[in-house]
Amino acid sequence: MEVVVVGGGWSGCAASIAALKQGAEVLLIERTDMLLGTGLVGGIMRNNGRFTATEEMIALGGGELFQLIDQNTLHRGIDFPSHHHASLYNVATMEPLVKTFLLQKGIHILHSTRIEDVEMEGNKIKAVIGKQGEEKIRLEGDVFIDTTGTAGPPTNCTKYGNGCAMCILRCPSFGGRISLTAKAGIKEMVGRKGDQIGAMSGSCKLFKESLSREIVNLLEKKGVAVIPVPLSERSKDKLSIKACQQYALPEFEENLVLLDTGHAKLMTPFFPLEELRRIPGFENARYEDPYAGGIGNSIRYVGMAPRDDTLKVNEIENLFCAGEKAGLLVGHTEAIVTGTLAGYNAVRHLKRERPLVLPTTLAIGDAISYVRTQMETEEGLGYKYTFSGSVYFDRMKQRGLYSINPKEIRERVDRAGMAEIFSSK
C-alpha cells in the first residue's frame, strides 16, 4: 500500500505520520527545499481553543507533532490581546526537527519536486506527474492526499492582493502552487467576503536585531510586546483582509502586537516600512527576507476541495485532503488535526475499512463537520474558522467544548470511545 502526500506543510507531515502508523508506505512530496510551509513563519500554538484541540489529538493517539512542538517551545502560558495560555515555538529551528523525525520513522521525502499534473483512470488518480529539478517524474500511488494549500501562485496575490510579497512559499524560486484536486478535474471552492477573494496571511516577520533593545528585552523576557500605534498611523484596512480573523480586532489596529517566535512576529498582514519606522523603537526596523512586509502578504483560500467529514474529496475515489485544502480552517493546529484524520482514513480506504468520522462531542470532529456545512453557504464562505477565535471559538464555548484541563479532555475522548484511535495499528 502506497500513500502519496503532495505538500509538505504541517498537514502533509501529519498525514504522512498517520498513514505510516497504519502500515502504509508513505511518499511525501514537497515543492520547495523545506518542510512546514507557512509553519516556517508561524509559531503560535495552544492559544484559546487550540489548547483543547491539541490535548484531544494527544488523547486520540495522534500527538507526535504537538509533542515535538512542545519540546521546541520558547514561551509558555503567553497572553496577548484576546488570546490566552499560548505557546510560542521557535520557527528558526522547528523544520529540521520535524524533517529528522519523519525520516527516522521511515517516511520518504522528495524535496524541490513540483507536481504539475495527474494521470487519471476513471475517477481514480493513478499517478502524479511533475519535475524534480529539471528531471521529469511520474509517481504512482494507491491513494493520494492533497495538502497543497490555498495560497499563491503569484498571479492570485497580484489579482486579489497587493502583489507578490516574496513570502515564505517562494513561488518565484520553486514555481507556484498547483492543486491536485483541481488537476483531477474537481471544481474548487473559493473563500470570499463581499468583493474580497481569499484573504491575506495575518502576520509578517521582523528581525529582532532591528528593533530597540527595550523591545527585544521585553520580547525575550515576556514572549510578547504590545506597542501603541499613534492615531495617525492606524489603518482598519489591514484588519478586514486578514485570513486570521481571530486577530482582526481593534487591539491589533491600536497596537503593534509582537510575539517572540525566534524572530519578531508582527501580528498584521503588512505595515508600510516608512510608517513603521516612525514608531518609537522601530526606527531601524527591517522585515526579514524574503518578506516584502511593507507591501503585502500571500493571498490564501482561493482553492479549497469539496469534501466529506472523512476528508475524502468528492467524486474522486482515492483522494483525501487536509490543511487549508480541506476548508476555511486557519492555523497550524487545524492543519495537524485534519492531516492526521486524512492520513488515517487514506489507509482505511486502502484496507476497505469503514472511514472514521470523528464525533461532534469532540472539538476536532465538530469543527471539521461544522466548517463543511458552513462552506456550502454563501455567507459561510465569508468567514474563517479556527479553534483560537472568531466564529468557531465562540461555538466551542457555547457547546461546552472548550477546556484547558487535560484530564477532563482525555475523559471526554474516552467517553467517545476514541482513546488512542490514531495509535499504531
Q: Yes or no: say if 404 and 387 are a contact pair by the CB < 8 Å rule.
A: no
> 73-80 and 83-89: which strand pairing?
antiparallel
Q: Could you tell me which of 138, 148, 137 has the C-alpha nearest to residue 175? A: 148
Q: Yes or no: say if 32 and 112 are a contact pair by the CB < 8 Å rule.
A: yes
Structure-derived torsion over alpha carbons of residues 35, 41, 45, 50, reported in degrees to the nearest 10: -80
Q: Yes or no: say if 313 and 237 are a contact pair by the CB < 8 Å rule.
A: no
Preceding amide of 154 cis, omega within 30: no
Going residue by residue through the chain (425 aa), what tens digit of pLDDT does each one get?
Answer: 799 999 999 999 999 999 999 999 999 999 999 999 989 998 999 999 999 999 999 999 999 999 999 999 999 999 998 899 999 999 999 999 999 999 999 999 999 999 999 999 999 999 999 999 889 999 999 999 999 999 989 999 999 988 888 888 899 999 998 999 999 999 999 998 778 898 888 888 999 999 999 999 999 999 999 999 876 665 655 555 545 555 566 777 788 999 999 999 999 888 889 999 999 999 999 998 667 788 888 899 999 999 999 999 999 999 999 999 999 999 999 999 999 999 999 999 999 999 999 999 999 999 999 999 999 998 898 888 999 988 999 999 999 999 999 999 999 999 999 999 999 76
Taking residue 289's Cβ as centre, other Cβ atoms within 10 Å add up to 9
Determine which helix (DSSP H) or strand (DSSP E) holds 309, and give its type and residue range. Answer: none
CATH architecture of 2-193+299-415: 3-Layer(bba) Sandwich (3.50)
Q: What global pTM score does this model have?
A: 0.95
What span, in angstroms and rounded, lies between the C-alpha atoms of 383 and 1?
38
CATH 3.50.50.60 in the chain, residue ranges: 2-193+299-415
Q: Yes or no: say if 79 and 86 are a contact pair by the CB < 8 Å rule.
A: yes
